[in-house]
Amino acid sequence: MDDHLLEKLTDEVKHYENKDFLKAAMAVCALTAVADNEVTLSEHHRIGYALAMVPALRALDAEKAIDILYEYIYALRTNGEEATQILHAKVKRMAGDHKRARTLMRVSYMVMTADGKIEEAERAEFNQLCALLDLEPGQVWKELAS
């Protein structure tokens, strides 16, 4: 097989995998931020920080990520339950990849704690996201809070 073709195929597979992870990460951000019906400036800042500092997210296109985030937030505000189901499905795709699932929950935790207070709705969404990713919410919470 031509080495160039193999390299191109490998790049395309990585792009596809990153695209799904990007969408799952932005879904987690949007779901967590909107859970308490208010997206604060500190949550926006924390999402930007995560995109810049979390190694798994740094490889993603930050501008594209923010566009997707705003699209998801808008969908959640206008189509509520339907948008939630769609975004949950995007997150669930990462359930088979333990490292990515843990990264998504770290991002959720960062967004949830951005304003210094954790609302019950945010905690409920965190637990739902853990369940979608086949993670034990109590264990994840314990690891992140310490």
User: Do 47 and 69 touch, CB atoms closer than 8 A?
Assistant: yes
Residue 52 and residue 42: Cα distance in Å, rounded?
15
Tens-place pLDDT, residues 92-132: 999 989 999 999 999 999 999 998 889 999 999 999 999 99
pLDDT-derived band at 133, boundaries 50, 70, 90:
very high
Nearest to 121 by CA among 47, 60, 32: 32
Domain boundaries defined on the chain = 3-145
Name the CATH superfamily housing domain 3-145.
TerB-like (1.10.3680.10)
How do residues 13-23 score in pLDDT, each as one tens digit? 454 457 889 99
Tell me the mean pLDDT in the region 71-100: 95
